[in-house]
């Protein structure tokens, strides 16, 4: 499928390396993002710039989206100079963003009326998975459309799973975000408990990653936490957006989510620090460290630091 013309909207932390994989796979890629400078390195690699979502969608066979939230997907598709105006009949939209399942179903229906198929295909694996093309991609939508774009998805990820009809990919991604947030709480507590016992974080990560308590969060975020590296692979504010979607889904289905609610509160404490929302999700440990200080001296009030 190397001659396929591909549009790609959203060239941030996750989108940019994915465009790179498509270019190296031989695709002709037209890109658009809110800030052209973000696409500069991709243009140097051979991508073509479009001034609008419609420009990125015109004459392509497949349009990828990797934007922030449900309203952003709607704006890109159906807003002024939106992609839906330019998409040709028979093309496929692959939304790699994390949005609400209800939104995914609605957008799919609206595009189907124009003769365009849409797949909700959120990913997991973080910035590392995006750079290494090892993402897991959870796909909701028609099986025929998925098979048409599978060769492209295989350039981006290691595991592509057809979850079910439209919206199912986003529903499974919501489940993934529950596990990510709750696992992160466990990593923070384990590392701080080990610190109090004088055990090196490196020992914790090396020994426990191979046991029953091991997790992706421990192996990948544990080293960043211990090094004080809060640079974002996935930002706190984006995780909070995802957990809002999770809570809405839980409320709609009657599923209680107390652990998710606690994770939201911890992330909110990080957000209260200047620039906290733009830190990586491993910055949750900053909230725990603040709690440790307060527990040791309840009269002491401090800001959070890395």
Q: Which CATH fold would you assign to the domain 5-164?
A: Rossmann fold (3.40.50)
What stretch(es) of the chain map to CATH 1.10.1040.10? 171-296
Q: Where along the chain do the CATH 3.40.50.720 domains lie?
A: 5-164
Contact between 157 and 129 under an 8 Å Cβ cutoff? The reply is yes
- How many CA atoms are closer than 13 Å to the CA of 7, on its beta-carbon side? 31
Helix (H) or strand (E) holding 137: strand 135-140
Determine the Cα–Cα distance for residues 220 and 160; give it in Å rounded to an integer: 22
Instruction: Give residue 235's pLDDT.
Output: 94
DSSP 226: H
- pLDDT beneath 50, residues of the chain: 1-2, 303-306
Residue 120's closest CA among 77, 88, 182, 80?
77
Looking at residue 294, what is its pLDDT? 85
Q: Which residues are catalytic?
A: 173
Give pLDDT tens digits for 239-273.
999 999 999 999 999 999 999 999 999 999 999 98
pLDDT at 231: 94
Q: Which of 180, 85, 84 is nearest to 95 (CA)?
A: 84
CATH number of 171-296: 1.10.1040.10
Q: In the numeric block, which tokens belong to residue 129?
A: 């998975």
How far is 278 from 288, CA to CA, in rounded Å? 18
User: What whole-number distance in Å separates Cα of residue 293 and Cα of residue 270?
Assistant: 15
The per-residue pLDDT for range 158-202, each reduced to its tens digit, is 999 999 999 999 999 999 999 999 999 999 999 999 999 999 999
Q: What is the pTM of this model?
A: 0.89
pLDDT reported for residue 297: 76
Kindly tell me the burial class for residue 179, based on how many C-beta atoms sit within 10 Å of its own C-beta (0-12, 13-18, 19 or more): middle
């Amino acid at each position: 499928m190397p001659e396929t013309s591909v549009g790609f909207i959203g060239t941030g932390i996750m989108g940019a390396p994915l465009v790179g994989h498509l270019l190296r796979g031989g695709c002709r890629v037209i890109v658009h993002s809110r800030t052209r400078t973000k696409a500069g390195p991709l243009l140097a690699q051979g991508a073509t710039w479009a001034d609008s979502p419609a420009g990125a969608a015109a004459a392509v066979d497949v349009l990828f989206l990797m934007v922030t939230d449900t309203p952003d997907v709607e704006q890109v598709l159906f807003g002024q100079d939106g992609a839906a105006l330019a998409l040709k009949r028979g093309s496929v939209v692959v939304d790699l963003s994390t949005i609400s399942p209800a939104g995914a179903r609605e957008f799919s229906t609206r595009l189907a009326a124009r003769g365009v198929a849409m797949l909700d295909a959120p990913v997991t694996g973080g910035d590392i998975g995006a750079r290494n093309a090892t993402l897991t991609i959870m796909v909701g939508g028609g099986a025929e459309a998925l098979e048409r774009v599978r060769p492209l998805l295989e350039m981006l990820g290691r595991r592509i799973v057809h979850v079910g009809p439209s919206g199912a990919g986003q529903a499974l991604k919501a489940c993934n975000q529950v596990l990510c947030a709750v696992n992160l709480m466990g990593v923070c507590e384990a590392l701080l408990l080990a610190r109090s016992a004088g055990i090196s974080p490196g020992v914790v990560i090396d020994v426990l990653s191979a046991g029953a308590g091991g997790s992706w969060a421990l192996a990948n975020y544990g080293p960043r936490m211990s090094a004080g590296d809060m640079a974002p692979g996935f930002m706190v504010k984006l995780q909070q957006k995802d957990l809002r979607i999770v809570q809405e889904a839980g409320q709609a289905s009657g599923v209680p989510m107390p652990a998710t609610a606690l994770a939201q509160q911890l992330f909110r404490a990080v957000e209260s620090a200047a620039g906290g929302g733009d830190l990586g999700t491993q910055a949750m440990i900053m909230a725990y460290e603040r709690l440790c200080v307060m527990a040791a001296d309840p009269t002491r009030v401090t800001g959070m630091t890395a």
